[in-house]
C-alpha cells in the first residue's frame, strides 16, 4: 500500500500544495500542509490507516466506524495495490464478496458489486 501512495504522490504531486486553492480539492492542501511536518514514512502510514484492510471482521469494523463518522452510502473498495500478485487481488475480492458483503446486507446496507473489476482482473 505504501508503494501505491508514493507513486500516486509522485504522479499527482499531492504533497506540493498546488491543489490547495482549487475548489473541490482543498483536502489536498491539508495533505500538503501535513507533508511539511511529517516524514515520508509517516505519510505512507497515514495513507495506510485510511484503507480498509485486514480480516473480514476487521474490515466490517472499519467500514462501520467510517459509516458512523460520516454516514456515507457508497464505498469504493481497492483490492489491488502496486506490486500485488493478481492471485492475491482475486483472493481478496472473493473473500470480501463472500464474507463482508453479506454481513453488510444483513445490517440493511444496500450492496451491489460492479462486475467490471472482475472483468479487468480476468483480462490480465
- Cβ proximity of 92 and 79 under 8 Å: yes
Instruction: Give dist(CA 105, CA 65) in Å, integer.
Output: 16
pTM above 0.75, yes or no: no
Instruction: Note the pLDDT tens digit of each residue in 25-52.
Output: 888 888 888 888 888 888 888 888 888 9
**Maximum CA extent, the chain:** 44
- Cβ proximity of 86 and 124 under 8 Å: yes
Taking the CA atoms of residue 60, residue 66, residue 69 and residue 75 in that order, the dihedral angle to the nearest 10 degrees is -110
**Is 62 or 10 the better-scoring residue by pLDDT?**
62
Instruction: Note the pLDDT tens digit of each residue in 65-93.
Output: 988 888 887 888 889 887 889 999 999 99
Amino acid at each position: 500500500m505504501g508503494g501505491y501512495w508514493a507513486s500516486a504522490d509522485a504522479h499527482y504531486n499531492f504533497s506540493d500544495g498546488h491543489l490547495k486553492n482549487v475548489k473541490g480539492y482543498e483536502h489536498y492542501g491539508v495533505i500538503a500542509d501535513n507533508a511539511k511536518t511529517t516524514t515520508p514514512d509517516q505519510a505512507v502510514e497515514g495513507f495506510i490507516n485510511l484503507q480498509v484492510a485486514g480480516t473480514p471482521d476487521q474490515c466490517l469494523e472499519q467500514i462501520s466506524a467510517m459509516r458512523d463518522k460520516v454516514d456515507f452510502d457508497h464505498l469504493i473498495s481497492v483490492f489491488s495495490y502496486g506490486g500485488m500478485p493478481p492471485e492475491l487481488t482475486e483472493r481478496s475480492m472473493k473473500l470480501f464478496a463472500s464474507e463482508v458483503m453479506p454481513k453488510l446486507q444483513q445490517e440493511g446496507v444496500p450492496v451491489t458489486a460492479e462486475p467490471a473489476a472482475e472483468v479487468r482482473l480476468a483480462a490480465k
